[in-house]
Amino acid sequence: MAKQKLEDLDWTNLGFAYRDLPYSYNEEFKDGKWQNGGLTTDSTLTFNEAAEDLHYGQEVFEGMKAYRTKDGRIQLFRPDMNAKRFTNSAKRLVMEPYPEDKFVEAVKEVVKANADFVPPYGSGGSLYIRPFMVGTEPLVGVSPSSTYTFHIYATPVGAYIKGLHPMPYMVSKYDRAAYAGTGQAKTAGNYAGSLLAAKEAKDNGFAGELYLDPRQHKYVDEFGGANFYAIGKDGKFYTPKSHSILPSITKKSILQIAKDLGLDPSETNIDVNDLDEYTEAGAMGTAAVISPVGSLTNNGKKHVFYSETEPGPVTQKLYDTLFGIQSGDVEDKYGWVVPVE
């Protein structure tokens, strides 16, 4: 694949696709220690045919974004939280954690090296950053790898879901993850297992699928690629508390913002049979930021939230505040924004 040329980009129509940028970051773990990696122009990785990751799925990753502000600065959003989650995911998969301070610095290096590809302010785009780690030791028996590759690539993207348009979703008959499984780790297998559910949802005219808890199939867990929230008739903010969902950095941020907006947020069980108790609902995550849910269909029964055409007022306020902080238009009183020098 040829390297992306800056002059070939249409900033307002980027889509959510991979583009091969000039620089990535790579580092190897072997002989019991990390090997002092750095920037590379090589965007290919080579593994032995028996590499752990290829057969037993020992892999973890992160998703984060860099934003261009109105005055041209570039900033990251809570990269320390991505580093912590990356560590937790690695421990769950019995992998060698990558040092969290080096993680943040490596991300900054990749962004600075590809700074020309951070979309301009007002385009709706951002630089999506994908740190990941794979087990590379050739193994036949099932056991943890002793060697790993840590790698970061970046690609300019537009909005994952364009605009704040309510979308229709369906409740899936499948489980995303087991109750005591790997649901709280950001690992490839969770997403591979969701592909069939996502395909069936889209084949039936839905934007995506919503999973229920894997024990009782009664309580809302999360979407295939984002956490769920709802606004109750009491005006409060609710989001699921579960052992099998990914701990979203966006959700952590929204919980704080919702508290400051007087929404008395809580993580609790949300019964899929009690959707009439909620006036708005949405998906929240790095890719989606915040996306309103227009309707949710469960076993053929369709529930419409605030509107199928317009975002609800609380959703709009949450989005404006969060994205405003990320893009530099709203004061960051939390210390979440990290400038890329």
For residue 163, what pLDDT is reported?
66
**Is 65 part of a structural domain of the chain?**
yes
Q: pLDDT > 70: what percent of the chain?
A: 99
189 with 292, same domain: the answer is yes
174 with 232, same domain: the answer is yes
Decide which of 97, 130, 157 is a domain's last residue.
Answer: 157
**Is 111 part of a structural domain of the chain?**
yes
pLDDT digits (tens, 9 = 90+) for 176-215: 999 999 999 999 999 999 999 999 999 999 999 999 999 9
171 with 197, same domain: the answer is yes
175 with 105, same domain: the answer is no
- Domain limits for position 255: 167-327
**Is 333 part of a structural domain of the chain?**
no
Q: Is the pLDDT of residue 162 over 80?
A: no
220-228 average pLDDT score: 96
The H or E element spanning position 239 is strand 237-240
146 with 260, same domain: the answer is no
CA distance 157 to 18: 8
Which is more confident, 287 or 152?
152
For residue 161, what pLDDT is reported?
66
Q: Is the pLDDT of residue 288 over 90?
A: no
Whether this prediction's pTM lies above 0.85 is answered by yes
302 with 183, same domain: the answer is yes
* pLDDT band with cut points at 50, 70 and 90 for residue 341: confident
Q: Which two tokens stand for residue 89?
A: 């995911």
CA distance 228 to 240: 7
**Is 280 part of a structural domain of the chain?**
yes
Of the candidates 164, 134, 137, the one whose C-alpha atom is nearest the C-alpha of residue 151 is 134
pLDDT digits (tens, 9 = 90+) for 103-153: 999 999 999 999 999 999 999 899 999 999 999 999 999 999 999 999 999
Q: What amino acid positions are annotated as catalytic residues? A: 186
146 with 174, same domain: the answer is no
203 with 142, same domain: the answer is no
Decide which of 157, 180, 206 is a domain's last residue.
Answer: 157
Number of domains making up the chain: 2
pLDDT digits (tens, 9 = 90+) for 251-283: 999 999 999 999 999 999 999 999 999 999 999
pLDDT digits (tens, 9 = 90+) for 323-336: 999 999 999 999 99
Q: Which two tokens stand for residue 34?
A: 């990390």
Q: Is the pLDDT of residue 1 over 80?
A: no
28-48 average pLDDT score: 97
Decide which of 130, 157, 184 is a domain's last residue.
Answer: 157
For residue 313, what pLDDT is reported?
98
215 with 150, same domain: the answer is no
172 with 318, same domain: the answer is yes
175 with 68, same domain: the answer is no
70 with 13, same domain: the answer is yes
CA distance 162 to 291: 9
CA distance 87 to 255: 22
* Domain CATH code at residue 323: 3.20.10.10
